[in-house]
Structure 1
Amino acid sequence: MAAQPPVPALLDNIFWHALSGPQAGFAQGAGGARRFAPGFSPILGFADPAEPAFGELLPFCASGESFYTDGWSGPAPVGWSIELESTMFKMRWAGELPARDDAPEALPLEPRHAEQAMALAVLTKPGPFGPRTLELGDYFGLFDGTRLIAMAGERAFAGGWREVSGICTHPDAQGRGLARRLTAKLIRRQLLRGEMPFLHVMRANEGARALYRRMGFVDYRESVVRVIRRT
């Protein structure tokens, strides 16, 4: 297995490192603030999460837009309102290379699948998702005929760490291990590329967190997650 890249400098503020680094082409912003461009996952990144530069984002955010933030817990700045606050766990891979591809029949998701992927994300709420999120990395789906019933893919990426995200299964197909198989497929691909997988899971989602632990993930840190709206 490839040597792990340094943890704290990147994972503590992974969205800033992604949006200001290898994924800058998908970003908008200035100075110490970035966002994924419209159409991608509505997430913000700040060079200093303790003192986020919301003012530098104003030209890039429309009134009424909502975004997720990671690790920021201060008062809402003028022009913004906090819609939701909770905590989430950042988990990093600590297991072995999966011996085989657990979902060889999974199909790569392409722009033509965006409508189905978006509908599945709206139904199952795996986290911030947009119609262009499929462009951020490799996404795979399992189908029942032509109907997408499960998917998982890659979102943030920086310094050798790559996020597994968008993990979800249609309610009609749950209990068959589809999401686990897709997640294992992505982990195997990432490790073979010399990358280190990580993911996010909400504190309330104990079932998913327990599954990820069994697969080989360990808790790295718990942080505040907020949804903030441009007013």
Structure 2
Amino acid sequence: MAHLLDNIFWHSLSGAQACFATGETNARRYAKGFSPILGFADAEHPDFDAITSYCEPGVNFYCAGWTGAMPAGWQLHAEITMYRMVWDGDMPPEDVDFKPRRLDADNLQDAQQAMALAQLTNPGPFGVRTIALGEYLGCFDDDRLIAMAGERSYAPPYREVSGVCTHPDFQGKGLAKRLMHQIIRRQLLAKEIPFLHVMTGNTAAHELYLRMGFRDYCETAVRVVGRCE
């Protein structure tokens, strides 16, 4: 029997997060403004005909688990591999002295600052509305967002830890790890199972996540594709 994590984006887009998605029976995407991710009912044989009319030219979309020939009308921009990791550790300790602020998806400044930080640090596909997909926590220097971590895909009980990034001027202080611990604690207390993605070439992050308590679930292809203009 297939596991939810084997096709997590589809199960998220067609299930608990269908309210954030658009598409048809066999293919869906996060709606405009959210992370540009595609999900297919059959990830190994994606039905691009069903999603083409929902995807605007000039936008790079991410899809996982597929390495077949490109369909007509689409082009391949990048192909890499990533680890899908699932939590296998203990409850992170409570960090009573750490007081990040929850980012408000209805606050334009929060959304714009999150988007700007993601564009600067490239933690993965991100959109100006992405922080509405779950809880996002941020660290601030005065009014400037300098680090964040949050939640993206969700197919109960699996919830993704995502958007983890720190401004280059503030790296090396452990902010991202502390933010992740708070997100993971929230998920575990809610009886959810944390998981995340990390590119196979990002050895430092992969090793950090292993030490934190994640384990590799699988290694999968990830492609960046777009409609031909």
Matched, 1:149 2:151: no
Matched to 2:63, the amino acid is: T
Q: CA deviation at 1:102?
A: 6.3
Taking structure 1 as the reference length, the TM-score comes to 0.95
1:90-130 deviation digits (Å, cap 9, x = unpaired): 00000001121367410000132011100100000000000
Report the Cα distance in structure 2 between the residues aligned to 1:167 and 1:76, rounded to whole angstroms. Answer: 31
Report the Cα distance in structure 2 between the residues aligned to 1:230 and 1:73, rounded to whole angstroms. Answer: 17
2:32 aligned counterpart, secondary structure = coil
Q: CA deviation at 1:31?
A: 1.7
Q: CA deviation at 1:159?
A: 2.2
Mean CA deviation greater in 215-224 or 108-117: 108-117
Matched, 1:80 2:77: no
Aligned equivalent of 1:3: none
Aligned ranges 1:3-82 → 2 under 5 Å: 8-82=2-76
Aligned equivalent of 2:87: 93
Aligned pair count?
225
1:34-77 deviation digits (Å, cap 9, x = unpaired): 00000000000000011100000122111222100010100110
Aligned equivalent of 2:186: 189
Matched, 1:119 2:116: yes
Q: CA deviation at 1:155?
A: 0.2
Matched to 2:142, the amino acid is: G
2:51 aligned counterpart, secondary structure = helix
Identity of aligned residues (%): 57
2:63 aligned counterpart, secondary structure = strand
Give the aligned CA root-mean-square deviation in angstroms: 1.2
Q: Which runs of 5+ in 2 are unaligned?
A: none
Taking structure 2 as the reference length, the TM-score comes to 0.96
Aligned equivalent of 1:219: 216
Matched, 1:168 2:174: no
Matched to 2:93, the amino acid is: A
Where do 4+ consecutive residues of structure 1 move more than 6 Å? Answer: none
1:116 aligned counterpart, secondary structure = helix
- In structure 2, the CA distance between the partners of 1:156 and 1:116, relative to structure 1 (3 Å rule), is same
Q: CA deviation at 1:26?
A: 0.4
Report the Cα distance in structure 2 between the residues aligned to 1:12 and 1:101, rounded to whole angstroms. Answer: 33
Does structure 2 retain, via aligned residues, the 8 Å contact 1:102–1:182? no
Q: Which runs of 5+ in 1 are unaligned?
A: 1-5
